[in-house]
Chains A and B, each alone.
Chain A
Amino acid sequence: QVQLQESGPGLVKASETLSLTCVVSGYSITTGYYWGWIRQPPGKGLEWIGGIFHSGTTYYSPSLKSRVTLSVDTSKNQFSLKLNSVTAADTAMYYCARANYYSSGIRRFDRWGQGTLVTVSS
């Protein structure tokens, strides 16, 4: 069965770049899904960051688009998130997820990683 596991530094300095990777096991990322990132600040709700197809096609949240880059490495069956110029407001649990899609984009997230907490320090 498909499993997703986030990894990356738990602490990032303000103004620097947050980098996370999601390794997918039990399923090929080249088969029929988008792969996405969602974050959740402590005690708050869910915020969609973006999604990527194995071909490199991406969708980004308008509020984060200027600072986010998603990429995919099919040889390692993983995908990655980079968020630059971070501030304390970017402190959050970051989740990767598998995303069902349709002709106009991503539909729903049916498998999630356990999440990784990233704290931005000043």
Chain B
Amino acid sequence: DIQMTQSPSSLSASVGDRVTITCQASQDIRKYLNWYQQKPGKAPKLLIYDASHLETGVPSKFSGSGSGTDFSFTISSLQPEDIATYYCQQYDNLITFGQGTRLEIK
């Protein structure tokens, strides 16, 4: 099984901050990685697919990069509506999610 490790597990940042979350795979997954946003009480929402492609309708303040085993997800300017838990997900071998990163406003 491929393990996905996100860092940090939680993050507190100020409005307007640039925020970056990382996701590390236990083996090479090429660019087979997606990012989701889950707001409290809601279903997850796909933001980024194939490591760096923005899903249709998702604001360009969200971005992703990486390949192989190391990936990152960035919010360019944090806003209150971005408060959520973010998950990475690999699909190189079946499906595995990272444990999530809870983002809070400082």
Contacts and interface: CB of A to CB of B under 8 A. Distances in A.
A48 B95 contact: yes
Interface residues on B, range: 20 to 34
Nearest to B48: A108
A61 B50 CA distance: 21
Interface string A26-54: 00000000001010000001111001000
Given A108-B34, A109-B46, A115-B43, A46 B87 contact: yes
A107 B49 contact: yes
Interface in B35-63: 36, 38, 42-46, 49-50, 55
Contact of B46 (A38, A95, A110, A113): A110
Interface in B77-106: 87, 89, 91, 94-100
Interface of A, secondary structure class, is strand
A97 B87 CA distance: 16
Contacts of A95: 43-44
Given A45-B87, A46-B87, A107-B49, A62 B97 contact: no
A112 B43 contact: yes
B94 A62 contact: yes
B94 A105 contact: yes
Q: Which of B38, B87, B91 gathers most chain A CB within 10 Å?
A: B91
Contact of A108 (B38, B49, B98, B99): B49
Contact of B91 (A97, A108, A112): A108
A45 B96 CA distance: 11
Interface string A81-116: 000000000000001010010000111111011110
Interface of A: 36, 38, 45-48, 51, 59, 61-62, 95, 97, 100, 105-110, 112-115
Interface of B: 1, 32, 34, 36, 38, 42-46, 49-50, 55, 87, 89, 91, 94-100
